[in-house]
Amino acid sequence: MSSLPAPNGHNEKPASIQSDSPTVINDGKKSNLPPPAHYEETPNFGPRHLEISTATLNNPLDGMSPEEVLRDVDLFVEEKGLSQHQELFRRGALLARVAQQEGGFEEIREIPEDEKQVLREEITHRWRQPFMLYFLAVLCAGSAIVQGMDQTAVNGAQQFYFDEFEIGPERVYIRGLLNGAPYLCSCLIGCWTNAPLNKYLGRRGTIFISCFISFASSFWMAAADSWWNLLIARFALGLAVGAKSSTTPVYSAESSPKAIRGALGCQWQMWTAFGIMLGFVASVAFQNVTAPVGQSIDPPRYPQWRWMLASTAIPPMIVMIQVYFCPESPRWYMEKGKYDKAFNSFSRLRNHPVLASRDMYYAYKMLEAEKHQREGKNLVKEFFTVRRNRRAAQSSFFVMFMQQFCGVNVIAYYSTQIFLDAGFSRSQALLVSMGTGIVNWLFAIPAIYSIDTFGRRNLLLTTFPLLGLCLFFTGFSFWMPTGNIEAGEMSTGRVAMIATGIYLFMAAYSPGEGPVPFTYSAEAFPLYIRDTGMSFATATCWGFNFILSFTWPALVDAFTPQGAFSWYAAWNFFAFFYTYFFLPETKNLTLEELDIVFSIGNREHAMYYKKKLPWYFQKYVLRKQVEEYPPLYQLGGAGNMSEKIARTQSRNSHRTGRE
């Protein structure tokens, strides 16, 4: 691969893609660590064709000389009607060519000093972004607030509409169905509207439609005159839940620069947590409201729950207004051939036009590679038969499944009833439930920083055992004496232990399994099946959400609280081992570079981490000073294609000799 002359007159070899992942090596990054320990130079597993087969997706400009890149970008701007920006795109294309090299732009003489300073600040001041990018982040946050409030307003409301509609504790499945109806609809219908809505209306249009459905269904639920009418209204709410949860994380990921993509993506969960808190706040705020709302069945009359559910119309109304002022996803515009609008969107979402031209040209080349992959292929078949796609789906489905079966939505939907069973009064139970929402939101804030530094995988490995222990603690606390509840005497120690266990659970959930699933799923799939992949992933999430919400009353009735909490505690310990052996890390990699990560098979991944266990024991348990363990996979980008083939063949022959 030829490159521009370096200051000393020699050609420098480009560096590999930079990554902070503990399992990724960087050819061009020199280390100050001591010499390697006596481990194998390259682990004896992983697909031998990996580096070659994914080279095009590492960087489609890899192997092209500066002159070839300039000729290509000249054709690009002429074909796409961007000739007025030709000089800007020429500089952007040269930057895209070295986008995976640390400091590569410093050697490009065509880039003026003021633009080089912008590129330096992109790295050193990653949070110095344009207003419109943050405005878009606020829109995504508002969409998440809608989602969260829709989930938990029912937590307090059910304590009143169960009484109004005479749905006693023995009718466990009707109670579960009323709570789980939106998620059943989302799984069966809502998530699958994501692809057609995005295709014809774009990301913004899909968010608008889903928020309108949330807005309308809020008033429908508040006006319900029977439990089956309320059930239909809540089922309709699921049409909004599915499309919104599938689209918003993708919209954020496609619009954000690489340096803060994960942080902005995890705000979906952080602001969902804020919406969850608002749902609890609404329950507390309206618990004593006696103002009548329309006609209700004769005694008893409980207008409180109607106000609680109607209050959920406020956030979607705000989002529907805000969506008109945000730019559409530039990648969506490019898929539709609207390159002038795409460049306008990129320009509004980047600090400098040269950054917009670089990112747009790079995205265009990646889209070309994706379209070449897509031609003549059945996307559903590709989803299951191509290992890269299958591994992404498997990993996304796992984190989505565990977001439900870690047990969090037991608390989101039933915490008021749990606290009533623990011995609290109704007013106290609503207030303590609001505390769980506050804890959930506050502890989600650190994930903005940790998700791109500590990593998605490490967050899960840290928090899954804590979640399991907290659920065991909560469940076993129900064995403590109850006190004389009929006389108004509750066991202070019992209710304190149960509340403590639930609060600690929420504190452990929020920075881990809270933000990771939607961030992980939004970035895991290649662009050509991303909409389909997110639909499958969110359908998994909401399908198991329905199972959890529908079965919890019956589970408590059959297993008692001790057994029910222990059931979900056990799933968290299973998830810890699954994450360690099978879940790849995705932090600090572009959406396109993840093709390499997900090309590693389950067996290779599990064997690597099995062999790495003694190294972890030596370093973190015995606290010995050990050398770096050889990486599982290596991201290409160093040298031209012939050099890559030569390196791959050499490595393969070396492995064959060892075998």
Q: Would 398 be classed as within a structural domain?
A: yes
Query: Is pLDDT above 60 for 619?
Result: yes
Whether residue 659 lies inside any domain: the answer is no
- Percentage of residues in the chain with pLDDT exceeding 90? 42
Asked if residue 227 and residue 172 are part of one domain, the reply reads yes
- pLDDT > 70? residue 647: no
> Among residues 316, 328, 174, which one has the least CA distance to residue 240?
316
Confidence of residue 483 (pLDDT cuts 50, 70, 90): low
List of residues 6+ apart from 113 with CB closer than 8 A? none
- In this structure, are 517 and 626 located in the same domain? no
pLDDT of residue 349: 92
Query: Do residues 275 and 160 share a domain?
Result: yes
Q: Would you call 447 helix, strand, or coil by DSSP?
A: helix
Per-residue confidence (pLDDT) for residue 294, from 0 to 100 = 56
Tell which residue, 256, 273, 276, has the closest CA to residue 265: 256
What's the rounded Cα separation, in Å, for the pair 305 and 227? 13
The yes-or-no verdict on residue 298 having pLDDT over 60 is no
**pLDDT of the residue at 184:** 92
Collapse the DSSP code of 634 into the 3-class scheme (helix H, G, I; strand E, B; otherwise coil) and give the result.
strand
Phi-psi region of 623 (alpha: psi -120 to 50; beta: other; left: phi over 0): left
Residue 20 has pLDDT above 60, yes or no: no
- The answer to whether residue 210 sits within a structural domain is yes
Q: Which residue has the tokens 């009607």?
A: 81
Higher pLDDT, 194 or 116: 116
Q: What is the mean pLDDT of residues 540-549?
A: 92
- Cβ atoms < 10 Å from Cβ of 10: 8
Tokens coding 399: 């984190």
What are the backbone angles phi and psi of residue 244, rounded to the nearest 5°?
-65, -45
Q: Are residues 99 and 165 in the same domain?
A: no
Q: Mind listing the pLDDT tens digit for each residue in 199-221?
A: 899 999 999 999 999 999 999 99
| Residue 262 confidence (pLDDT) | 67
Are 511 and 446 in contact, with CB atoms under 8 Å apart?
A: yes
pLDDT (mean) for 70-95: 91
pLDDT average, residue stretch 584-608: 82
Kindly state the tokens that stand for 598: 């997900």
Strands 633-634 and 24-25, bridge-based pairing: parallel
Question: Residues 510, 562: one domain?
Answer: yes
Residue-wise pLDDT tens digits, 332-343: 999 889 999 999
Structure tokens at 620: 């973190």
Do 114 and 147 fall within a single domain?
Answer: no
Q: Is residue 488 domain-shared with residue 350, that is, in the same domain?
A: no
Q: Do 581 and 450 fall within a single domain?
A: yes
Provide the domain limits for residue 435: 385-599
DSSP letter assigned to residue 377: -
Domain boundary among 599, 623, 642: 599
Would residue 16 count as lying in a domain?
no
Residue 108: per-residue pLDDT:
86
Q: How confident is the model at residue 634 (pLDDT cuts 50, 70, 90)?
A: low
Instruction: Read off the pLDDT band of 29 (50, 70, 90).
Output: very low
In the chain, the percentage of residues whose pLDDT exceeds 70 is 83
- Give the model's confidence band at 611: pLDDT under 50 very low, under 70 low, under 90 confident, else very high: very high
Alpha helices for 312-407 (secondary structure H)? 314-322, 330-335, 339-349, 353-374, 379-385, 387-405
Q: Which residues contact 366 (CB under 8 A, 6 or more apart)?
A: 57, 60, 527, 592
Per-chain mean pLDDT for the chain: 82
**Could you give phi then psi for residue 165, rounded to 5 degrees?**
-95, 10
> Among 289, 307, 326, where does a domain finish?
326
In a domain, 556, yes or no: yes
Residue 579 and residue 631 share a domain = no
Question: How many domains does the structure of the chain reveal?
Answer: 4
The string over 75-98, giving b where at least 16 C-beta atoms fall within 10 Å of a residue's C-beta and e elsewhere, is ebbeebebeebeebbbbbbbbbbb
How far apart, in whole angstroms, are the C-alpha atoms of residue 656 and residue 645?
16
How long, in residues, is the chain?
659
Per-residue buried b or exposed e for 227-250, using 16+ beta carbons within 10 Å of the residue's own CB: beebbbbbbbbbbbbbbbbbbbbb
- Alpha carbon distance 433, 304 (integer Å): 17
* Buried/exposed code over 502-525 (b: 16+ C-beta within 10 A; e: otherwise): bbbbbbbbbbbbbbbbbbbbbbbb
Whether residue 568 contacts residue 220, with contact meaning beta carbons closer than 8 Å, is answered with no
| Start-to-end CA span in the chain (Å) | 33
Confidence of residue 486 (pLDDT cuts 50, 70, 90): low
**DSSP result, 560-601:** HHHHHHHHHHHHHHHHHHHHHHHPPP-TT--TTTHHHHTTS-
Segment 538-543 shows an average pLDDT of 88
Residues 222 and 277 in one domain: yes
Residue 144 lies in a domain: yes
Same domain for 180 and 215?
Answer: yes
CATH code at 264?
1.20.1250.20
Domain assignment of residue 643, yes or no: yes
**pLDDT, greater one: 232 or 118:** 232
pLDDT for 22 = 43
Report whether pLDDT(54) > 50.
no
The pLDDT score that the predictor gives to residue 533 is 84
5 in any annotated domain = no
Instruction: Count other Cβ atoms within 10 Å, centred on residue 41.
Output: 9
Per-residue model confidence (pLDDT) at position 316: 95
Q: Residue 25 gets which letter from DSSP?
A: E
Same domain, 300 and 399: no
| Across 7-18, average pLDDT | 36
For the segment 365-409, what is each residue's pLDDT rounded down to a tens digit? 888 877 776 777 777 788 888 888 999 999 999 999 999 999 998
The C-alpha angle 169, 170, 172, rounded to 5 degrees, equals: 80
How confident is the model over 502-528, as pLDDT tens digits?
999 999 999 899 888 888 887 888 877
